[in-house]
Amino acid sequence: MWTRSAASQTTPRAFDHPIYVTRPLLPDFRTYTEALSGIWERHWLTNKGRVHDALEQALREHLRVSHLSLVSSGTAALMLAYRALGIAGEVITTPLTSPATVNSVTWCGLTPVFADVDPERLTLDPAAVERAITPRTSAIVGVHLYGMPCQVDSLRTLAERHRLRLIYDGAHAFGTQIDGEPVSKFGDATILSFHATKVFNTAEGGAVITEDAEIKRRVELLRTLGIQDEVTVALPGINARMNELEAALGLANLDIVERERLARAEIADIYLTRLDGIEGLRPFKLPARVRNSHNYFVVRIVEGASRLSRDDLYERLKSFNVFARRYFYPLCSNFSFYRDLPSSSPVNVPAANRAANEVLCLPLYGGLGHDAAHQICDILEHLLGKPDRPQP
């Protein structure tokens, strides 16, 4: 167990190897190669293979959803969802997200309109969304950022009142629940990413989840070039298939993902216990009713209140071999190709701009180990000062 040691008075040790923000979850090598041997025997690599269908079924049960369609990436999942829902014109979304959320809107010939986030939750502010609605608006795309669920009830009311489609980017919300309800039950569709940096990964991959059988049917046509049968191409689809090698990795990882989530929860507890009270550092916390996916551990380095700026801290950590990440800086609305949109003005999205300048993701993965987590806390105390609270 951690005890306050004299060592924390002096400069803490740097790590002797780089510590990155995450390390992809991998199953036991033998488990994976055994799964591969079946694929070799069947000589079936893609196009709704046996492993692919088994993973779809296993994920539906794990996430307790009606329809889940595997695809090649989270970005492809977003593009297919927009197409399957027949979205046209303007799409209201948050600028505080991966470029994937917004670039997929543009890639589908739609116009992104940025609305600000709630300054604490960092998810879309429903009042800001309402102000952004025009006669051209056809959809709202909310992001459950860092596993913080959007305000699903307010957004549903808004979407119903204005007849808008509602899509959630749940790339950070694998297994997230609100009061025991899977977060992917909300909206017309929810997308997941199974990229290597996500808590559940298939190296590259993603999924579209929906409760609507017709949406699922369209997604599944669109992910495979719109091919309905040998002589019918029903929709102008793309190739967004997941292959058997990725699906096999997914099946093996699904067996260990809950153990990984719990291991991450222990690391997060160490960070929370040791970092709470450091001046100018505010851990990002989820409400008690939310089951945490533990995809990221995020702190905000409050401008002006901390001994170091966020960017200085980010740089100084590197000299200790700690490679934190500033997800999601820069803000999408500040990209060269979006910054001239009227909604990109910092006056329109002040809370998102502020957050993008304050957030820092600390290393979080089960294999990090408790000692390393304590060492990272020692380094943060050294750089930012000790917590201002009664010492144990």
Ligand X SMILES: *Cc1c(COP(=O)(O)O)cnc(C)c1O
CA 240 to chain centre: 20
Instruction: Dig out the tokens for 86 from the structure.
Output: 């027949």
**Contacting residues for 362 by C-beta, under 8 A, at least 6 apart:** 21, 271, 297, 298, 299, 324, 376
Considering only residues 201-230, where is the footprint of ligand X by CB under 6 A? 206
Nearest to 168 by CA among 139, 129, 201, 134: 139
Length of the chain, in residues: 392
Instruction: Dig out the tokens for 252 from the structure.
Output: 């093996």
Residue indicated by tokens 């901390």 = 306
Is 59 a binding residue for ligand X by CB under 6 A? The answer is: no
The packing angle between helices 213-222 and 74-84, to 10°, is 120
Q: Which stretch binds ligand X (CB under 6 A): 167-175, 298-306, 307-315, 370-378?
A: 167-175
Among 12, 74, 175, 250, binds ligand X (CB under 6 A): 74
Is 141 a binding residue for ligand X by CB under 6 A? The answer is: no
Distance between CA atoms of residues 74 and 30, nearest Å: 28
Is 193 a binding residue for ligand X by CB under 6 A? The answer is: yes
Q: What is the smallest separation between the CB atom of 354 and ligand X, expressed in angstroms?
A: 19
Among 52, 68, 71, 75, binds ligand X (CB under 6 A): 75
How many residues contact ligand X, by CB under 6 A? 14
Residue indicated by tokens 């689809």 = 237
Considering only residues 346-385, where is the footprint of ligand X by CB under 6 A? none
Among 19, 56, 71, 73, binds ligand X (CB under 6 A): 73
Q: What is the smallest separation between the CB atom of 379 and ligand X, expressed in angstroms?
A: 26
Among 143, 263, 267, 384, binds ligand X (CB under 6 A): 143
Is 171 a binding residue for ligand X by CB under 6 A? The answer is: yes
Q: What is the smallest separation between the CB atom of 100 and ligand X, expressed in angstroms?
A: 4
Q: What is the smallest separation between the CB atom of 98 and ligand X, expressed in angstroms?
A: 4
Distance between CA atoms of residues 52 and 34, nearest Å: 16
Q: Which pairing describes strands 177-178 and 290-291: parallel, antiparallel, or unpaired?
A: antiparallel
Among 121, 195, 264, 274, binds ligand X (CB under 6 A): 195
Residues that bind ligand X (CB under 6 A): 73-75, 97-98, 100-101, 143, 169, 171-172, 193, 195, 206
